[in-house]
Every structure is written in C-alpha cells, then in structure tokens.
Amino acid sequence: MKVLVTGAAGFIGSKLSEVLIARGDTVIGIDNMNDYYEVSLKEARLDRIASNDPNHLFKYIKLDLADKEGIEALFADEKFDGVVNLAAQAGVRYSLENPLAYVESNITGFAHLLEGCRHNEVKHFVYASSSSVYGANRTIPYSVHHNVDHPMSLYAASKKSNELMAHTYSHLYQIPTTGLRFFTVYGPWTRPDMALFKFTKAILEDKPIDVFNYGKHRRDFTYIDDIVEGVVRVLDKPAQANPNWDGKNPDPSSSVAPWRIYNIGNQKPIELMDYIAAIEKHVGKTAKKNMLPLQAGDVLETYADVSDLVEDVDYHPSTPVDEGVGNFVQWYREYYQI
C-alpha cells in the first residue's frame, strides 16, 4: 500500500512508519515539527526511520495539518491507499493552558484530512482517538459500547469531535473510517511530557517527582510495539457498516455507515505507585516523591475493554509493564548517554 502517516516524527508515528516500510509499504510521513517538546528528539526519530529504510520506501514532508492548500496538494499528488492520522496537539494538561492550539490542530486539521480522503478515493482512514474521551464515565472497564458525552478536558473533547466528524464523512461519502482510543502508550522514544520520561529523568537527576492524586491513579499502560501492531492490523481491515445496527437502540461503536471505534490498550491496569516502583527498579534509585492532589482534567482510572479489537483483528498485547519500562530506561540511558 501507499500510506500517509501524519505525525511521522512523533512517538507512535515514527514506530508505525518503521513497521510499515519493513513489510514493504510506501510511506509518506508528514509532521509540522512544532516545539511542544524538543525538536531534536523528533529529528532523531526521523533519522532512525531513514537508517532502517534500505529500499527508500519512506519520504518525509514538513507540513502542518492546518495548511489547507498544502494538504489538498499532498493528497492530489500522492493518491494514498490508506491514511493514519497520528498528528495532534497532545497532552491533557497543556490543553488547560492553551486550548485554542487543540482546535486548530485537532479539529481544523482533522477536517482537512477528511476532505483529502473524500476527494481522492482513500480506501481507509484510521485515526488516533484517546481513552480520555471516557471523561466522567465510571463504569470499568471502559467499553466502546458505552456513551462518551462527558469529556473532562478540551483535548478529550477534540478527540470526541474527531469521532463525530469521521462518522459524518463515512455516512455522507462512504469513506471507511476507524478511530482508535489509545490507552497510555509508553516505551522507548516516548514524549518528554509523559510520566515515564519525566519520572526517569528526575530520578536519575535526584530531583523529586510530582505524584498526583497521591499515587492512587490506575492506568492501562500499553507498550508501543503492541499499539503499533494493533494499528497495522486495523489499517489492513477497512471499517464496514454494521448490518445489525439499530437506530432505536444505537451502538456507539458502529454504524450503518462504514465507521468503527475501538479501544486499544493492554487490558491490565496497574497502580501508579507500582509503575513508579518499576522505574525505580530499572533506574536503580528510589524516587523522591511530592504527593499531590488530583489535577484538573485527570481521570482516576483507565481500563480498556479490547474485546471488539480481539474479535475483529485478533489483537493480543503481550508486553508486561516491567519489561516495557526496562526497555525505556535502557533506551534513555543510551540516548542521553547517562
């Protein structure tokens, strides 16, 4: 296939690009290289892709999703078979400080991609949603068959908006679209604003870490390799209409249109303090902890019910948290030469 990967210099996008070219797909990767975190890390990820691309199947283009004309020209020139949208303004906490950045990238930019798919016969549009859309929901584990109308941050609201926008295009133009609600992705090459990165850095530098909600969070931490395997499996199986869908008793995960929503997680939530203990073990030092109350926009627990993804694409995450954390700490020491 010829695949567009947006956010190709990002944590998930760079790994996905590597996996796709390794199996022989042609990948056009775009990224705006914004300075939300160190650009040098994004450049290093692109270098990593290039070093694992002996057949020159990957091409990087610097482009912002908000650039309407640029996106139009890209789709017209390249004629993609599939699109995977991983570009977004990320982070729940940053959305409390700079909400408009999320509107421009996550909503306006998303609309430009949908228009590109509409006018260029793209066979499947896969996009990153988020576990944060579950917001105020308290039924655990989170299921795609639950209603999600109470987001607790603008980041979450922007991701729910993406799901609704995709449904409209699937309904009006019969474009197969699939949304993936990611659950706390972690591993080597992760973003510096993620807890694993921040905690590891602070512990190595003998600085205290901020532990919100007094460490009582539970998160469904999901290793990067397991996430990317799921994305590839979904990409290869375009969404189809649900022939049994009932408008009088609507299922939130499917439709009479070729539109689907899946959770993609590890299905094994762990306590934040256990996660920190795994980091301490692999770093070889005990963290100094600032125990703090729950922060605005945070949810208490995430736990993915991935049964639909298991049934439809045989998805089976297999990386234990201790192994994944160990892989990250090893990468961190090598990358930063510590």
CA separation for the pair 105, 89 (Å, rounded): 6
CA 48 remoteness from chain centre: 20
Phi, psi of 123 (to 5 degrees): -80, -25
Are the C-beta atoms of 95 and 155 separated by less than 8 Å?
yes
CA separation for the pair 146, 169 (Å, rounded): 22
Short-list 6, 13, 83, 16, CA closest to 41: 13
Q: Could you give the 3-state DSSP secondary structure of residue 180?
A: strand
CA separation for the pair 21, 52 (Å, rounded): 9
Q: Is 173 a catalytic residue?
A: no
Are the C-beta atoms of 295 and 215 separated by less than 8 Å?
no
Q: What is the DSSP letter of 121?
A: T
Phi, psi of 128 (to 5 degrees): -80, 120
Taking the CA atoms of 239, 60, 15 and 95 in sequence, report the sign of the dihedral they define: negative
| Active-site option among 127, 134, 142, 155 | 155
CA separation for the pair 91, 70 (Å, rounded): 26
Q: Report, as residue numbers or ranges, the catalytic residues.
A: 155
